[in-house]
A = this chain, B = another copy of it.
Amino acid sequence: MKDKIKVGYVGLGRRGRGVLKKCISQMADVEVAYLCDLSQERMETGKQYLLDQGRSEPILTKDYHNILRDPTVDAVFLMTGWDGRPQMAKEAMLAGKYTGIEVGCAIRLEECFDLIDTYEKTKVPLMMLENCCYGRREMMALNMRELGLFGEIVHCDGAYGHYINDEDTFKNIGEENPPHYRFPHYLNRNCEHYPTHALGPISKVLNLNRGNRMLKLASFATKSVGLKAYATERFGPDSEYAKLPYKHADIINTVITCEGGETILLTLDTTLPRAYYSRNFTVRGTKGLYTEERKVGYLKGMAEPVENNEKEFFEQYDHPLHREYEELGTRGGHGGMDWLVCRAFVESVKAGTNTPIDAYDTVLWMCIAPLSEQSIQNGNMPVDVPDFTNGKWKSREPITEGKYCLDKVCVDKDTKIFHDIE
């Protein structure tokens, strides 16, 4: 068990800077030895975050290979945009660095095979930093499952319902910065490119890769009119952006069928005006349900209709770790889940163990985009989901309460969860 680890931190866009400032820079057991970005200005900003916390000065580099070549670096955080990230992850694993990779999918299915081959060869842990696996609702559902409250689980829903034309997709248009890294994906692709906030937690609930697996998926795309309508209104009907042939559908529904007979419905919904953000995280079973969309938990026998009782469910069924976390005070972004996912990664590096979201999980979630694209291109035909575990899903230990990913954060009662915090 290492007392302190040395990491390289790659990618200082909005997300990269946010996680650095609110999470990583505040961890006394993490030495950020390198910051890497193509922008000197962003690197300077990141450096200041570290100095503000009394951390040692990092080396700034525009070439992440410099990090990989340093034998004293234990781990890398890959916080760049989607393109090229799998290649970086592969090189990081080959260099023997624990690899934490921000959420997002592969562009091509081959990238997933390449990553898993690299993992099989090197056994270097690869972890998608899927913060939503550590969300309070999602963890409560996991706890409810452990308590048997759902009965037999048969279906889960999840979504990325978030209108981001303003805040992401078209954000930098007309400014000096290049367009947002998502922009080309909206222009050139038509697929479920952002499933993991929903799918990560659902995978844990359904024990995917651990006794269960995805069999196939099919995706369904609406026409694409929201992006053009937005650009027309903002830039004018004669503007370049109003005339671009956007490929991305406004709403994409994907249904995944699983070995255990469960189905998963994923919805990508980011280009049309919405009334609220929602991941529509829903778990349905023979004895009960939880659904984020209505903020409702329900157990068989309760009188119908039930409305707005989520708070009562938190009080009764919060995951033990989250209960403690809430009492101690959550920190970092997004209700505390950013902090938890980073800690889970850091603690794995310190302990020299595999990561709680592992390479099989990571590539399984990453493959959704290219498979979904294939289904849409082929008229909604179902597409087989590869078994990246090569049969190991059958015998891999199911995640049980005591062994859930968060045990990496919840160290021992004497020193409290965040013993590593100053």
| A residues whose Cβ falls under 8 Å from a Cβ of B | 151-152, 154-155, 163, 216, 218, 220-223, 225-226, 229, 250-251, 253, 255, 257, 260-263, 265, 269, 272-277, 284-289, 291, 293-294, 296-302, 304-307, 379-382
Given A381-B382, A382-B379: A286 and B225 interface contact (C-beta under 8 Å): yes
Chain B residues whose CB sits within 8 angstroms of the CB of A382 once the complex forms? 218, 379-381
Q: Of the candidates B218, B222, B379, which one forms a contact with A380 in the assembled complex, judged by CB atoms under 8 Å apart?
A: B218
Given A288-B273, A294-B276, A294-B293: A263 and B306 interface contact (C-beta under 8 Å): no
Chain B nearest CB, measured from A215 CB (Å): 9
Q: Of the candidates B250, B260, B289, which one forms a contact with A274 in the assembled complex, judged by CB atoms under 8 Å apart?
A: B289
Chain B nearest CB, measured from A324 CB (Å): 28
Chain B residues whose CB sits within 8 angstroms of the CB of A222 once the complex forms? 154-155, 261-263
Q: Of the candidates B273, B285, B287, which one forms a contact with A287 in the assembled complex, judged by CB atoms under 8 Å apart?
A: B273
Minimum CB distance partner of A307 in chain B: B276
Find the residue from A221, A222, A291, A306 having the highest chain B CB count within 10 A.
A222
Minimum CB distance partner of A296 in chain B: B275
Given A154-B250, A229-B151, A294-B294: A289 and B263 interface contact (C-beta under 8 Å): no
Chain B nearest CB, measured from A369 CB (Å): 19
Q: Contact check, B272 vs A221: say whether CB atoms are below 8 A apart.
A: no
Q: Contact check, A225 vs B152: say whether CB atoms are below 8 A apart.
A: yes
Q: Contact check, A306 vs B154: say whether CB atoms are below 8 A apart.
A: no
A-B contact pairs, 19 of them (CB 8 A): A152-B225, A152-B229, A154-B272, A216-B379, A218-B380, A220-B257, A225-B286, A250-B286, A253-B263, A273-B299, A275-B289, A275-B297, A275-B305, A276-B294, A276-B305, A276-B307, A277-B304, A293-B293, A294-B294
Q: Contact check, B257 vs A255: say whether CB atoms are below 8 A apart.
A: no
Q: Contact check, B298 vs A220: say whether CB atoms are below 8 A apart.
A: no
Chain B residues whose CB sits within 8 angstroms of the CB of A296 once the complex forms? 275-276
Chain B residues whose CB sits within 8 angstroms of the CB of A301 once the complex forms? 273
Given A154-B251, A253-B255: A223 and B285 interface contact (C-beta under 8 Å): no
A302 to B291, CA, bound (A): 25
A311 to B221, CA, bound (A): 32
Q: Contact check, A262 vs B298: say whether CB atoms are below 8 A apart.
A: no
A374 to B223, CA, bound (A): 26
Minimum CB distance partner of A257 in chain B: B220
Apart from A154-B223, A273-B300, A276-B305, list 7 A-B contacts with CB within 8 A: A163-B304, A218-B380, A272-B284, A275-B307, A276-B306, A380-B382, A381-B382
